[in-house]
Amino acid sequence: MQRLKRRQDFVAAAKGVYQPMPAFVVQAAARNDKEPARIGFTCTKKLGNAVTRNRIKRRLREAVRLSLPNVVKPGFDYVVIGRAPAENRPFQVLQSDLISAAARLHAKAASLPEARPE
C-alpha cells in the first residue's frame, strides 16, 4: 500500500463513497487502474492539539497496516479521517471496524456503475 500525500488526491477520494464508523470515516474512490491501493490519513483541528491528532493518526496508520493489506483493492484511493473516539478505542475493535468499513465501501462502490474499475 502506498500513501496519499497530495491534496488533489484527498479531494478526489472525498468525491467517492464513504463509510462512517464510531472512531473514523473512510472515503474511497476508484482510480480505474491496476496500481496498488493508496491510503491517506487526516484529522481536523477540532480534535485537539497536534499531539492528540498525531496520536490518533499513528493508531489509525498501525491499524491499517496490520488489518487492511488483504482487504483493500488495487486501483482505489482511501482516506481515513480520524474522530475523537479513535484515541481511546480498543485497538482490536479499531482493526475490526476498519475491515468492516472497507467491506462496506467495496459493496457500495460495486453498486455504482461509474466507480467500477476496468
Whether 117 is covered by a domain: the verdict is no
From first CA to last CA, the distance across the chain in angstroms is 20
Q: Is the pLDDT of residue 115 over 50?
A: no
Summarize pLDDT for 59-72 with one digit per residue, the tens: 999 999 999 888 88
The dihedral sign for the CA sequence 107, 4, 82, 90: positive
Mean pLDDT, the chain, whole residue set? 89
Does any domain span residue 116? no
CB neighbourhood size of 54 (10 A): 13
Over the stretch 10-22, which tens digit does the pLDDT of each residue have?
A: 999 999 899 999 9
- Bridge partners for 29 per DSSP: 77
Query: What range does the domain containing 81 cover?
Result: 2-110
CA distances from 66 to 17, 62, 63, 91, 115 (A): 23, 6, 5, 11, 27
Residue 115 belongs to a domain: no
Structure letter (DSSP) for residue 73: -
pTM of this prediction? 0.87
90, part of any domain: yes
CATH code assigned at 28: 3.30.230.10
Instruction: Show the cell assigned to 15.
Output: 468525491
- When divided into structural domains, the chain yields a total of 1
Strands (E), 32-112: 38-42, 76-82
CB atoms under 10 Å from CB of 115, counted, come to: 16
